[in-house]
Chains A and B, each alone.
Chain A
Amino acid sequence: MNLFRSEEHIGRWLGGRAPGATITVGKLSELAHAWWSDRLLPDWQPRTRERNQALLDRLGLDGEFWQLP
């Protein structure tokens, strides 16, 4: 899970490997704030798979790649 300068840099880094998923750094920040902002709250509770999937869906991360187990 890395940051790259551009698609060209991702392609070169992948070499012959199959690509995963690419999103903008702005979308990543949205995702991180939705995913982690409750992590230090005193009343934190683990989220269910369904809640995590809904969180990804809300951000448009809804393809097969983003399907949680």
Chain B
Amino acid sequence: MDEHDLRLRSLTYGLFVELGRAPTVSEVAAFGELPSADVSSGWQRLHDQHALVLNPATAEIRMANPFSAVPTAYRVKADGRWWYANCAWDAFGICAALHADGRIETSCPDCGEALRIEVHEQRPDETTLLFHCLVPAARWWDDIAFT
């Protein structure tokens, strides 16, 4: 990853946190004083390197892991805002990335019971829950939205 793409990635993530949502190509271009075409081509390279995930239909951001650009089953309150995470791992990852305590809200995929976990100093207050990862690590990026 060259310096240009590292800067674009940093700009993109910074705007995501500042706005509380995924920035558009136009917003990153305006904020970074870059041509929109450079943002789009840079995002595609970052996507190819698994540094973010684009929506194939729109070429806008789908995931800036651990953040999700679209609503999901994992909501996280951290650093004064609500966020969506891509999965349970990313839900804790949002607290980690923001270096903040937080609250994770989701539901058991089996029975639908609401689950609420408070994260304080990196530790969950609920200790009986289990995390299940269905896809082996070697295949996580075969279909990252499914993983």
Contact = CB atoms under 8 A, between A and B. Distances in A.
Contacts of B58: none
Interface residues of B, number: 53
A24 B131 contact: yes
Interface of B is mostly: mixed
B17 interface: yes
Contacts of A37: 96-97, 99
A22 B123 contact: no
Interface string A8-19: 011011100101
Interface in A15-39: 17, 19-33, 35-37, 39
A21 B133 contact: yes
The interface size bin for chain A is 35 or more
A9 B110 contact: yes
A23 B137 CA distance: 14
B81 interface: no
12 contacts: A1-B131, A3-B117, A22-B130, A26-B123, A29-B123, A33-B122, A35-B93, A36-B94, A37-B96, A42-B10, A65-B137, A66-B137
In order of increasing CB-CB distance, the 3 nearest A-B pairs are: A32-B92, A36-B93, A1-B87
